Structure 1
Amino acid sequence: MKAQIGLDRLTGLIAFARTASLGSYTAAARDLSVSPSAVSKSVQRLEEHFGLRLFSRTTRSLTLTPEGRELYERALRVIREVEDIEQAAVASRGEPSGTLKVTAPLPIGVNILAPALPAFRERYPKLVVDLRLGDQFADIIEQGIDVAIRVGNLADSRLVSKPLGPHRICTFASPGYLARKGKPRNIDDLVNHDCVNFRYQSSGQALRWPFQVGERVVEITPDATMTIDVSDAVAVTLAAGGGIGISPTYVAAPFVQRGELVPVFPEHAVDRFVITALWPESRRGNPNVKAFVDFLQEVFPVPAPWDVIVESSANAER
């Protein structure tokens, strides 16, 4: 007769799989809402039970051993089966309830999703929303994410996608800066101005500024006086008179509405990518996911309110 698997071993498998997926005990602990020491101890007990080293450990990293890699693949299959059972149970309830895990880039989460969540919760009081913000792309299936918001339509046959709206970017500056330094007459005139650039946290690369010129998009890399890796911080710096910078319209719109920023070269603004909602194929019939995706259609109307604000400001400047 086979021995029954204990609860501690199931806990250990989950802790091990999350650690392997995310690369550290700290990240796994954050994902599982427990302490890093709890995750570490669960993995250690699993290693002791199997008599195997699952990770090669250094002071800076965890790397799967060959035995750990094999167990990781098996553990993922078990976890996905459990999640399929959970999704079937949720779908049978019909009414949105339980926990909805959502991930989004920081600027979209802060400027668009977070202000809208109270209205969503009021509509579905039995739902608990777990919103995770960050620009690093992760495997949403491995992390048990229900809905991911991403910039760009990322092809993955395991995921269902729905475009929400354009990721429109434009150059902005404060009225005070333009009064002091003058408004640039054309794109080439940017060399005579203080430019504040954005740097991607994921790659460390500075943004090449795109401008729609006729039928084509022209890109330049300005000589920046400041480079910042958070979009909201770029907007705050510009509003404080730091120079001319490029920003998504949904980040800049509140500053424009308060008169702290004005668009520069609005005629050259670019719909850079598409903001997209993604969710696992296995959650297609999930009432929580359906309710949230339907709600996102209200959050991203056409035209988007942030684009209307920027366009109205540009028209007033003409």
Structure 2
Amino acid sequence: MRIDQLAAMRLFVRIVELGSFGKAAKAMGMSSSNVTERIAKLEEALGIRLLARSTRAVAPTVAGSRYFEVCRRLLSELDEIEASLSDSQEALAGRVRVSANMSVARSIIVPQLPQWSEQHPKIHVELIMSDQRSDFVREGIDFAVRIGGLEDQDLVLRPLGRPVRVTVASPEYLRRVGRPEKPDDLVRHRLIDFLLPQAGEKLEWEFEEAGRPVHMYPPTIAAVGDSDARLQLAIAGMGIVQSLSFIAAPALREGKLERILAKWETPAPKVAILYPRDRHLPARTRATMDAFTVWIRTAIENAA
């Protein structure tokens, strides 16, 4: 394989990841005309159309998507081979692109990342904080951290644990309004819902009674589509929220929130790392994945 073909493959991968010729040109330090010319030559050499261009975006064709996966795998293997020729620390170098639920990223990953980055300064972590399902090819994702929605059989799943769904309120709120003794008491309290992206849909409040789940949709005074923001409102005494145990754990340890209705708590959806089944994982990706695994498992276990 020629050096210029490898360069064209890297350029093609970057265009697909960024969805733009212009952004790829800027990232690679090239002119837009040079990028267009190189991709045209690559398509001509392969005899296939790799990219579908529109006025707003660039996306791979069906053949382009297959070629993208091949390029990513070959380039990752090549990078790992080259890195392995140097010492072990040098092998841990390059970009790792991760998608994670916002609550997991903010509560667990972001606090741990600075120290880990100092230990691995040549690993460039790109952390996408999103609760949306990842398109591994289109977004160039190496692996994802997800809460629930783990049914895709085309992905390898590494289980990280199962948090508990906790109900919490501030000490000030409980002094002012009183402490609910059972789930039915919540109808007389100020509750803050989690706002779902679909208009009109509400997230259920879930409890367990005599081994059976109890689903409730009590009246609420507000709904917020961010887990951390809801906790901050609860800490400020606005009302009661249901959260995941690892998200609420710091505020509970600091006494800013109190756990209520504990004997009715239920397990929340499982947390796991996902990545494509046929994806080669270079050393930098495995090292990052292993670190995230330890952090998340420990946080879930300590918050139980």
**TM-score (normalised: structure 2):** 0.78
Matches within 5 A, 1:123-272: 123-152=119-148, 154-201=150-197, 205-272=201-268
Answer yes or no: is the 8 Å Cα contact 1:152–1:275 preserved in 2.
Answer: yes
Distance in 1, matches of 2:302 and 2:104, equals: 14
Corresponding pairs, count: 284
Inter-partner Cα distance in structure 2 for 1:212 and 1:10: 52
Question: In the alignment, what sits opposite 1:78?
Answer: 67
Partner of residue 301 from structure 2, selected from 301, 304, 307: 304
User: In the superposition, relative to structure 1, how do residues 214 and 89 fare at CA in structure 2: closer, same or farther (>3 Å)?
Assistant: farther
RMSD between superposed Cα atoms in Å: 3.7
Determine the structure 2 residue equivalent to 1:102.
98
Letter in 2 for 1:75: G
Query: What is the CA deviation profile of residues 98-153 of structure 1, one whole-angstrom value per residue up to 9, with x for unaligned ones?
Result: 11111101111011011111232244332121111111112123322112100126
Aligned 8 A contact 1:90 1:287 in 2: no
Asked if the contact 1:160–1:280 (Cα under 8 Å) also holds between the matched residues in 2, the reply is: yes
CA distance in 2, matches of 1:77, 1:86: 14
- The separation in 2 between residues aligned to 1:228 and 1:305, in whole angstroms, is 26
Q: Distance in 2 between matches of 1:9 and 1:100?
A: 18
1:249–1:156: structure 2 CA closer, same or farther, 3 Å change rule? same
Aligned to 1:183, what secondary structure does the other structure show?
coil
Q: Which runs of 5+ in 2 are unaligned?
A: none
Q: Quick check: 234-243 or 85-94, which moved more?
A: 85-94
Does the 8 A contact of 1:256 with 1:262 survive in 2? Answer: yes
Q: Give the C-alpha shift of residue 296 in structure 1.
A: 2.9
How many angstroms apart in 2 are the aligned matches of 1:99 and 1:129? 6
Distance 1:109 1:178 in 2: 30
**CA 1:15–1:146: 2 relative to 1, 3 Å:** closer
TM-score normalised according to structure 1 size: 0.75
Measure the CA separation in 1 of the matches of 2:128 and 2:165: 24
Q: Deviations over 1:188-220 (max 9, x none)?
A: 111101110101337773210111222211111
Q: Distance in 2 between matches of 1:32 and 1:156?
A: 34
Is the 8 Å Cα contact of residues 170 and 268 (structure 1) preserved in structure 2? no
Q: Distance in 2 between matches of 1:147 and 1:253?
A: 26
Check if 1:114 corresponds to 2:110. yes
Give the share of equivalent positions with the same residue, in percent: 26
User: Is contact 1:165–1:274 with CA below 8 Å preserved after alignment?
Assistant: yes
Conserved? CA contact 2:193–2:241, under 8 Å: yes
